[in-house]
Amino acid sequence: MESRNPTDDEIKQQVNEAVRSFSGTFMDIEDPATRGRALTALLEAIPDLQADLRGARQSDVLQLRRAGLSHAEVGAAIGTSRGRAAQIADGRAGGKEAKREPISGGQGSHA
Query: pLDDT tens digits for 30-50?
Result: 999 999 999 999 899 999 999
Buried residues in 23-59 as b, exposed as e (16+ CB within 10 A): eeeeeeeeeeeeeeeeeeeeeeeeeeeebeebbebbe
**In 3-state terms, what secondary structure has residue 37?**
helix
Q: Which residues pair with 92 in a beta bridge?
A: 100
Q: Whole-prediction pTM value?
A: 0.71
- In percent, the amount of the chain with pLDDT more than 90 equals 60
Query: pLDDT tens digits for 64-95?
Result: 999 999 999 999 999 999 999 999 999 997 75
